[in-house]
Homo-oligomer: A and B are copies of this chain.
Amino acid sequence: MSQPPANPPGSRFVDDYLLYLLARASHLISAEFHDQLRRRGISVPVWRVLASLVGSSGETVTGLAETCLLQQPTMTKLLDRMVRDGFVKRTQDAKDRRVVRVALTTRGEVTAADLVQAAKQHEAEVMARHPEAEALAIKTLLRAIIARQTRPRRG
């Protein structure tokens, strides 16, 4: 464990800062699932793209970037790699020739389907672990989530 600081606990600015609580809760909960991705050799951005393309017949690069919380040039390069690795394919849009439509390949669909199932199961576990997630005020609730996520690695 890391040596806690000389700062009285609970007094830090960040611990009462909504944006930080959101980021931290998101980070902590996601970290669990990211471990699963890691074991399968899938990076987080790749997973986000796969998840975004499930059930779609073709998304734009910019649209994907926004969905995946990435910038457009980052998405372009990520898609380069995903095309190279056989997860997605690019096609020209029929109506607007500036637009590139991105869709899953067969391999991409298989991988995405597997991961989505794992994600749903993980989500169910998370919801089961945080029953108040359906009823409590967000800040209090996120704080509780953070506390529970932080310490008890085993249930």
Contact = CB atoms under 8 A, between A and B. Distances in A.
A57 B22 contact: no
Chain A interface bracket (under 10, 10 to 19, 20 to 34, 35 or more)? 35 or more
B69 A23 contact: yes
The secondary-structure label for the interface of chain A is helix
A18 interface: yes
Interface in A97-134: 99, 116, 119, 122-123, 126-127, 133-134
A66 interface: yes
Interface of A: 2-7, 11-14, 17-20, 22-27, 29-30, 33, 48, 51-52, 54-60, 62-63, 66-67, 69, 96, 99, 116, 119, 122-123, 126-127, 133-139, 141-142
